[in-house]
């Protein structure tokens, strides 16, 4: 049994992303197991995944509360239930793909640290947030410099008590509520041994992968940020032409507001093109193939 595992949930609308993700993991993290939470993925597709090997499928198609409950929420349950079988886990979204080996982050997590991806902003978890979530952080203002995304999160089996507490808590929002995950992590002391990677290294959230300075570039087969740091994963619906067009449409407004010009526009297009080349490589170039 592998000592590391990725936990990911997927439904029909995310099959294309899951193909790219699983192929990228086969290329960069071949020894890691995958715990897949499947919400009504078609049997033909699941058979192809079983043929890949190294994947355990947890089907949640009978979940009465629908797709969000069966994927975004249930993945936390699966993570803490399978955790004792591994030294460390990584929670992933199915519209992510990996661009480099991440075993170092697993090793760090196995030593008791949490490794997460920065959300790219500081949030003040003041009284409004504290009252909403029923916690007391000891101060009316609580600016938090380690605000992180829900995925990826690398952590040890012992630290999945955080996920168990989230799963068993009173639902605040219908989504998995990354704000509450952050607040809960503070109350449980997870932030004390947490390393938060830059947003352009782990997710590209808030358009960091196409913004000036941090936009990605390909150097001889290695994906780097504009700051020439390793990019380990990308996050987005890159199989969707409308999604890709929307990224650049948002950036047009950003360029106007920041009074930037054609050079920065070309950089954004080049960064998106580089990301799409990597996505296409994993989408079409691995053992799993897209199904109609």
What pLDDT shows up at residue 288?
Answer: 59
pTM of this structure: 0.94
d(CA 182, CA 176): 11
Q: Are 73 and 146 in contact (CB under 8 A)?
A: no
Distance (Å, whole) CA 208 – CA 119: 10
Write the CA distances from 84 to 67, 89, 279, integer angstroms. 27, 10, 33
What SS3 state is found at 129? helix
**Nearest of 86, 60, 88 to residue 167 by alpha carbon:** 60
- pLDDT tens digits in sequence order for the chain, 292 residues long: 569 999 999 999 999 999 999 999 999 998 999 999 999 999 999 999 999 889 999 998 776 667 777 888 899 999 999 999 999 999 999 999 999 999 999 999 999 999 999 999 999 999 999 998 899 999 999 999 999 999 999 999 999 999 999 999 866 555 458 899 999 999 999 999 999 999 999 999 999 999 999 999 999 999 999 999 999 999 999 999 999 999 999 999 999 999 999 999 999 999 999 999 999 999 998 665 565 4
Domains by residue range for the chain, with CATH: 4-199 (3.90.550.10), 201-284 (no CATH)
Q: Which residue has the tokens 């960064």?
A: 271
> CA 249, 208, 68 angle in degrees (round to 5)?
80
Contact by Cβ (8 Å): 150, 112: no
- Rounded CA separation 143/146 (Å): 9
């Amino acid at each position: 049994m592998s000592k590391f595992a990725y936990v990911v949930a997927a439904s029909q609308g995310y099959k294309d992303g899951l193909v790219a993700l699983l192929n990228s993991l086969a290329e960069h993290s071949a020894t890691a197991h995958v715990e897949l939470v499947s919400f009504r993925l078609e049997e033909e597709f699941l058979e192809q995944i079983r043929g890949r090997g190294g994947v355990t499928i947890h089907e949640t198609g009978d979940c009465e509360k629908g797709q969000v409950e069966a994927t975004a929420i249930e993945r936390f349950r699966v993570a803490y239930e399978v955790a004792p079988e591994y030294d460390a886990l990584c929670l992933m979204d199915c519209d992510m793909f990996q661009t480099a080996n991440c075993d170092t982050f697993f090793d760090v997590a196995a030593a008791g640290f949490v490794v997460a991806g920065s959300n790219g902003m500081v949030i003040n978890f003041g009284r409004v947030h504290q009252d909403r979530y029923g916690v007391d952080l000891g101060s009316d203002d609580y600016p938090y410099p380690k605000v992180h995304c829900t995925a990826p999160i690398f952590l040890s089996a012992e630290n999945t008590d955080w996920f168990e507490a989230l799963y068993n808590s009173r639902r605040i929002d219908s989504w998995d509520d990354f704000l509450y995950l952050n607040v809960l992590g503070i109350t449980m002391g997870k932030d004390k041994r947490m390393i938060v990677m830059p947003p352009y290294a782990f997710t590209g959230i808030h358009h960091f992968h196409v913004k000036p300075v941090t936009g990605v570039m390909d150097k001889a087969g290695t994906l780097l940020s504009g700051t020439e740091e390793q990019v380990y994963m990308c996050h987005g619906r890159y199989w969707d032409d409308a999604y890709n067009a929307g990224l650049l449409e948002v950036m047009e407004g950003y360029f106007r507001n920041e009074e930037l010009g054609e050079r920065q526009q070309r950089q954004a297009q080049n960064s998106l093109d580089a990301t799409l080349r990597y996505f296409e490589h994993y989408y079409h170039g691995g053992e799993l193939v897209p199904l109609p």
